[in-house]
Amino acid sequence: MTNNKYIEIDKKNYLQTFGRYPITLDYGKGSRVWDVEGKEYVDALAGIAVNAVGHNHPVLVKQLQEQVTKLMHISNFYLSKPQAELSKKLVDLSGLDRVFFSNSGAESVEGAIKIARKYAHSIGRGGEIISFTGSFHGRTMATIAATGNKQMQEGFEPIPAGFKQVPFNDIKAAKSAVSKETAAFIIEPIQGEGGINSIDIEFIKELRNLCDEHNIVLIFDEIQTGIGRTGKMFAHEYLGIKPDIMTLAKALGGGVPIGAILSNEKVSSAINFGDHGTTFGGNPLACSAALAVLKIIESENLLEQAKEKGQWLKNRINELNLPGLKEIRGKGLMIGVEFDFETKPLVEKMLEKGVLANATAGSVLRIVPALNITTDDLEKVIDVLIESLKEL
Ligand SMILES: Cc1ncc(COP(=O)(O)O)c(C=O)c1O
């Protein structure tokens, strides 16, 4: 069947909420994917920062195959070997004290909000969560409230109460927003959907101090930045401060849905038996995938690769004198190229020419490929970018 035939099926049957590109993908290998008509693409989007080790990585595939034949799912009434191993691994890597597994990013943020509120109430504070303009925290009811983008909230009222937004990187605004009601601040070390905007180091240090002063919980949403994306396992390692809670998802399972909420002992201790739960979260299959992803990142030195290749890509784009280029932002392989025009038509042109990328925040081209993408594949991304800009 052709791309169009599948798209007709989708249009007729699927809830029409995604503005999809006109292709239907069939299989992938490394950073290459093929559509159902056999056309090949370089994948510079990696499922929006999910396929960190590329498609079909042999170590991940083998581990999943083995786990499928052993145990895919059990209730969280029981423990599985992969869950115990993964919890230890993530606690060791993060320096935080406890972990809870979920199925997605939004669900991790929901869990983080619950832990923060439970802790805040236990010390006599209110439950308000403060986030930042340009942030993105998910599409469930509480996470659209945290995201604060009116477009995402419209028509879904009443929006859950207890959320407030202040300007990104503005410590004065953050300070004046704080009251006895404040439970937590939630922030992305680099805003992903918001256009690859980095946190200011002085600002975040002051925010950490502000939180310590008032016993407010600091949540880092590392759903997009975590698991090696920026060249460190967690992007906040660049900042020299630690959060009380960190959310993860996306790259953690390398394509198998899994999220995680990590928290320090202080806030974790507010959670009692029965306070939170999940059926699927942390099942043996998903945990086994995450263990394989972490193993691959270590054995293939992917943090270093992300740093080097990201820098290479930024340098390459910088020396090209691209028409309409305003700024190149980001760290490691989380790169935003801002132009002085809307980038959606550019992304469509690039797709026609065999590269998957993404437009975000209107005028930003987002490049978040697998951490092990080859230089040849990155060269192709550059060539296609140049050709596409010429034809726009
Ligand atoms: C920083 C951040 N938080 C939360 C989410 C929501 O994750 P999910 O789509 O898995 O629910 C995303 C997704 O893009 C994200 O980038």
pLDDT along the chain (392 residues), means of 10: 97 97 97 98 98 98 98 98 98 98 98 98 98 98 96 97 98 98 98 96 98 98 98 97 98 98 98 98 98 98 98 96 96 98 98 97 97 97 98 94
The pLDDT value recorded for residue 58 is: 98
Rounded distance, CA 188 to CA 192, Å?
A: 8
- Which residue's CA is the closest to the ligand 1 atom numbered 16? 224
- Which residue's CA is the closest to the ligand 1 atom numbered 4? 137
The tokens for 9 are 């099926």
Measured in Å, how far apart are the chain's first and last C-alpha atoms? Answer: 31
* Whether the CB of 114 sits within 6 Å of ligand 1: no
In 3D space, the residue among 286, 147, 296, 284 whose CA is nearest the CA of residue 233 turns out to be 296
CA dihedral (293, 299, 302, 304) positive or negative: positive
CB burial of 72-105 (b: ≥16 within 10 Å; e: otherwise) equals: eeeebeeebebbeebbebbeebbebebbbbbbbb
Rounded distance, CA 39 to CA 34, Å?
A: 5
Q: Give the Å distance between the CA of 131 and the centre of ligand 1.
A: 14
The neighbour count for residue 381, using CB atoms within 10 Å, is 24
- Which residue's CA is the closest to the ligand 1 atom numbered 3? 137
* Whether the CB of 142 sits within 6 Å of ligand 1: no
3-class state of residue 132 by DSSP: strand
* CB proximity list for 208: less than 8 A, separation 6 or greater: 218, 241
* Whether the CB of 337 sits within 6 Å of ligand 1: no
In 3D space, the residue among 310, 347, 344 whose CA is nearest the CA of residue 328 turns out to be 310
The pLDDT value recorded for residue 297 is: 98
* CB proximity list for 68: less than 8 A, separation 6 or greater: 285
* Whether the CB of 257 sits within 6 Å of ligand 1: no
The tokens for 335 are 């790169």
Rounded distance, CA 54 to CA 33, Å?
A: 10
For tokens 């832990």, the residue is 115
The pLDDT value recorded for residue 72 is: 98
- Which residue's CA is the closest to the ligand 1 atom numbered 7? 105
Task: Please choose from 149, 198, 250 the residue to mutate so as to test ligand 1's pocket, defined by most ligand atoms within 8 A of CB.
Answer: 250
Rounded distance, CA 238 to CA 189, Å?
A: 9
For the CA of 107, the nearest atom of ligand 1? 11
* Whether the CB of 260 sits within 6 Å of ligand 1: no
* Prior bond of 167 cis (ω within 30°): no
* Whether the CB of 106 sits within 6 Å of ligand 1: yes
Contact between 248 and 108 under an 8 Å Cβ cutoff? The reply is yes
Task: For residue 248, list its beta bridge partners.
Answer: 260
Whole-number CA gyration radius for the chain: 21
The neighbour count for residue 318, using CB atoms within 10 Å, is 12
Contact between 17 and 8 under an 8 Å Cβ cutoff? The reply is no
Q: Give the Å distance between the CA of 102 and the centre of ligand 1.
A: 13
For the CA of 48, the nearest atom of ligand 1? 14
For tokens 């290479």, the residue is 312
* Whether the CB of 109 sits within 6 Å of ligand 1: yes
Strands 245-248 and 259-263, bridge-based pairing: antiparallel
Q: Give the Å distance between the CA of 192 and the centre of ligand 1.
A: 9
* Whether the CB of 221 sits within 6 Å of ligand 1: yes
CA dihedral (119, 123, 125, 126) in degrees, to 10, reads 40
- Burial bucket for residue 308 (CB in 10 Å: 0-12, 13-18, 19+): middle
Q: Give the Å distance between the CA of 134 and the centre of ligand 1.
A: 13
Task: Please choose from 108, 224, 360 the residue to mutate so as to test ligand 1's pocket, defined by most ligand atoms within 8 A of CB.
Answer: 224
For the CA of 138, the nearest atom of ligand 1? 6
pTM higher than the cut 0.95: yes
For tokens 């249009």, the residue is 11
Give Cα separations from 304 to 54, 299, 311, 332, 390 (angstroms): 16, 11, 11, 9, 33
* Whether the CB of 138 sits within 6 Å of ligand 1: yes
